[in-house]
Amino acid sequence: MKIDFLSEAKNIEEWVVSIRREIHKYPETMYEEFKTSQLIREKLDELNVEYEHPIAETGVLAQIGTGEEPCVALRADMDALPIQEENDLDFKSTIDGKMHACGHDCHVAMLLGAVKIFKKHEEKIKGTIKFLFQPAEEGGAGGLKMREEGALDNPKVSKVFGLHVWPTLPTGSIGSRSGTFLASAGFFEVEIRGKGGHAAMPHFSIDPITTTSQIISSLQSIISRETDPLEPAVLSVTYVNGGDAHNVIPESIRFGGTIRSLTMDGQMRVQKRLKEVVEGVSISNGCSARVLFPGKVYPPTVNDPDCWKDIKSYSKNIFGKNIVEMDPVMGGEDFAYYTEVCPGCFIALGIGNEEKGTTVSVHNPNFKADEDALHLGVALHVMMATEALNEF
């Protein structure tokens, strides 16, 4: 199957950008992507593309080709984040407290662009291409639900690919690596209970605040003194809640955060030690503790070496020499649930442009995407799926 990836993607650039902006205006967090899902289905209907909905609650699974093997899959996540946007854009978020601060609006638009191109060339496809519009990447393990509900089956997917916009890479480049690319990611929640009382008479109370401060300090030693420096791991406390008066020692304090490791063994070890440290320090201060690890622990995202090798080779037609071998990243991705069972590769698509202010990190209220990169992502999607099918 021969397709001029870059020129065809450039021809639909305005269409892709308009979709991205529409999604950006109406961000929806995990498993609430109803408007986003509706927009995707409307575009698929316009293109006369078959799809399954709902899958994984709000997801959409589209398909083009013969309906038989060989089959490859392309994935885009759909959900936004609970962040108040601070950008001054014509298409800024219209929903208070919600924002596409991780570029998933770009991901959906680029994948729809790939659908549009493949539909034009459907008679040339020798096999099947699946398009996974997935909900709840941001902590909801939507990738696992998609997988469990058969997104990779009937026909069985032989290879799976995904993109993520990447502010630290310049526009016009891509990056990734062979093997473990992204970390295992898990979350923790802790409640420390003491005995409340008057702040002027602390000896009649059991102070959960001083206990919590000791716990948080002690937790850092799990990484700095118990973890091999050559085995990357992160333990970050990201919130502390408790008390609302100047003269009252509160009854309890809640705090939580995230654990990251490049291995599942490392993730489980840090979880175990966190629980032991929290409970030990609490007991020594006369408090009680409750430790939870909510949600799913995302496994590491592991790229198939041959897939990355092939992508580096044939993507030179789009990116030239701007293909970067990256170090592992401690961010997590539920794309990992696909590569647990199927060879695949997850690619960072550069959107960094200092003049446009698009180098701000993801998960930031000032995050912006360089839309000049979107047609490149469309071309890369089309190229990855095409070349994968050509191997069979």
List pLDDT tens digits, range 23-49.
999 999 999 999 999 999 999 999 999
Same domain membership, residue 56 and residue 138: yes
- CA-wise closest residue to 166 among 323, 8, 273: 323
Quick check: 121 and 65 in contact, CB under 8 A? no
Return the exposure string of 178-187: e unless at least 16 CB atoms fall within 10 Å of the residue's CB, then b: bebbbbbbbb
Mean pLDDT value across residues 212-240: 97
Same domain membership, residue 345 and residue 279: no
Chain position carrying tokens 């936004």: 80
Same domain membership, residue 340 and residue 267: no
Q: What's the pLDDT score for residue 78?
A: 98
Same domain membership, residue 278 and residue 211: yes
Quick check: 149 and 55 in contact, CB under 8 A? yes
Return the exposure string of 272-290: e unless at least 16 CB atoms fall within 10 Å of the residue's CB, then b: ebbbebbbebbeebebebe
Same domain membership, residue 266 and residue 189: yes
**Rounded distance, CA 141 to CA 31, Å?**
10
How is residue 187 written in tokens? Answer: 């979350």
Q: State how far the alpha carbon of 308 is from the alpha carbons of 35, 261, 325, 335, 376, in Å.
A: 34, 22, 10, 15, 17
> Which amino acid belongs to residue 233?
A
Q: Which of 292, 327, 348 is the last residue of a domain?
A: 292
Mean pLDDT value across residues 316-323: 96
Q: Which of 243, 263, 292 is the last residue of a domain?
A: 292
**68-88 residue pLDDT tens:** 999 999 999 999 999 999 999
Q: What's the pLDDT score for residue 338?
A: 98
Q: What is the CATH number of the domain that holds 351?
A: 3.40.630.10
Q: What's the pLDDT score for residue 1?
A: 67
- CA-wise closest residue to 18 among 121, 133, 110: 110
Q: What's the pLDDT score for residue 2?
A: 72
Q: Which of 243, 276, 292 is the last residue of a domain?
A: 292
Rg of the chain on CA atoms, in Å: 23
* Residue 390 pLDDT > 70: yes
Quick check: 183 and 332 in contact, CB under 8 A? yes
Mean pLDDT value across residues 165-187: 98
- Could you tell me the sign of the dihedral formed by the alpha carbons of 271, 277, 280, 281, in that order? negative
- CA-wise closest residue to 257 among 209, 208, 189: 189
Q: What's the pLDDT score for residue 4?
A: 87
Same domain membership, residue 356 and residue 267: no
Backbone angles phi, psi at 137, to 5 degrees: -75, -30
Same domain membership, residue 164 and residue 53: yes
Domains in the chain, number:
2
Quick check: 100 and 23 in contact, CB under 8 A? yes
Q: What's the pLDDT score for residue 3?
A: 75
Mean pLDDT value across residues 361-380: 98
> Which amino acid belongs to residue 18?
S
pLDDT confidence of 349, banded at 50, 70, 90? very high
DSSP letters along 136-148, please? Answer: --SSS-HHHHHHH
Same domain membership, residue 34 and residue 159: yes
**In a 10 Å sphere around its CB, with 0-12 CB exposed, 13-18 middle and 19+ buried, how is residue 331 labelled?**
middle
* Residue 168 pLDDT > 80: yes
Quick check: 134 and 65 in contact, CB under 8 A? no
pLDDT confidence of 194, banded at 50, 70, 90? very high
**In a 10 Å sphere around its CB, with 0-12 CB exposed, 13-18 middle and 19+ buried, how is residue 1 labelled?**
middle
Same domain membership, residue 102 and residue 25: yes
Q: What is the CATH number of the domain that holds 245?
A: 3.30.70.360
**Rounded distance, CA 261 to CA 259, Å?**
7
Domain that holds residue 311: 5-181+300-390
Quick check: 358 and 156 in contact, CB under 8 A? no
Same domain membership, residue 154 and residue 208: no
Q: Above pLDDT 70, what percent of the chain?
A: 100
Same domain membership, residue 268 and residue 249: yes
Note the residue count of the chain: 392
Quick check: 186 and 226 in contact, CB under 8 A? no
Same domain membership, residue 218 and residue 109: no
**Rounded distance, CA 276 to CA 285, Å?**
14
Quick check: 372 and 171 in contact, CB under 8 A? yes
